Structure 1
Amino acid sequence: MLEIIELIGQGIDVTGVVVMVSGIIISTVYFLNSRQRGQDPAEAYQNYRHGVGRAILLGLEILIVADIIRTIAIEPTFASLGILAVIVLIRTFLSATLELELEGRWPWQQPTVETEERRRQTAKFVAVNER
């Protein structure tokens, strides 16, 4: 049973890495496509950073799930729980700072008109590039 749980944890780890790598590749393709169409370089770069950041955030969240599964299900000792707490704390800090960088606000703050406009522009950019 422990081997199955370990395999599940490893599978989730791989999923997190695949999400990050594929998000970076997709964002790069969108960036190159938008530059080829003549989009403003600053806007294209901002959209690229936003796409890469979102991929990293999602990948980090998936990696946290894998850590929790392995720690709780396989080896629930105080030492392993302490290590898990440190890992989750570091990844949560990274997620929060990435959110601040991408959205211009902390995750617990209400979006401003500027952040909502940035989100709409990003959605429009993605929709145009999917055609």
Structure 2
Amino acid sequence: MDFESVFAAVARVIEGAGVVIMTIGLAAVLLRYVYDLFRQGAGSYRDLRVNLGRVILLGLEILIVGDIVRTIIVETSVESVLVLGLIVVIRTVLSFALEVEISGSWPWQQGRTDQSDAA
């Protein structure tokens, strides 16, 4: 087993972990929502969206790590680097959009929002 095949397997494991985290996270978030529906008579749709968004963000970050490992170590070509750049840009835009959905403000506005709430 050579160096590249080891890291190809590592990249697959990392990507698989991202998918597993999103799958298990989805199940946990939905189970929590159903539990809240039966316990309180009404589940919080906002909590469902926020928690689901967090699960997706975590999964996306792990998938990016897998893509980086695969591109840098396994598939080192200009084309694969360009594809990685495009994937990272798309996932970063997705992450920002999810963050805005979760918190209601841009990530760089968090400090000002928290400070104004404290005053």
Task: Report the CA distance between 1:73 and its aligned residue.
Answer: 0.4
Q: Which residue of 1 aligns with 2:13?
A: 11
TM-score after normalising by structure 2: 0.88
Q: Which residue of 1 aligns with 2:70?
A: 70
Q: Which residue of 2 aligns with 1:25?
A: 27
TM-score after normalising by structure 1: 0.80
RMSD of the TM alignment (CA)?
Answer: 1.4
Q: Distance in 2 between matches of 1:56 and 1:85?
A: 20
Task: Report the CA distance between 1:92 and its aligned residue.
Answer: 0.5
Q: Identify unmatched segments of 5+ residues in structure 1.
A: 117-131
Q: Which residue of 1 aligns with 2:90?
A: 90
Matched length: 112
Q: Identify unmatched segments of 5+ residues in structure 2.
A: none
Q: Which deviations, in whole Å up to 9, do the C-alpha atoms of 1:3-45 show, x marking residues without a partner?
A: 110000000010000111111111111101111112544xx11
**Structure 1 residues 106 and 39, CA gap change in structure 2 (3 angstroms):** farther
**Percent identity between the two aligned chains:** 41
Q: Distance in 2 between matches of 1:52 and 1:17?
A: 14
Q: Distance in 2 between matches of 1:29 and 1:89?
A: 32
Q: Which deviations, in whole Å up to 9, do the C-alpha atoms of 1:81-120 show, x marking residues without a partner?
A: 111000000000100000000110112222525xx8xxxx
- Please give the residue correspondences for 1:56-67 in structure 2 after superposition, counting only pairs within 5 Å: 56-67=56-67
Task: Report the CA distance between 1:75 and its aligned residue.
Answer: 2.0
Q: Distance in 2 between matches of 1:87 and 1:99?
A: 18
Q: Does 1:107 align with 2:96?
A: no
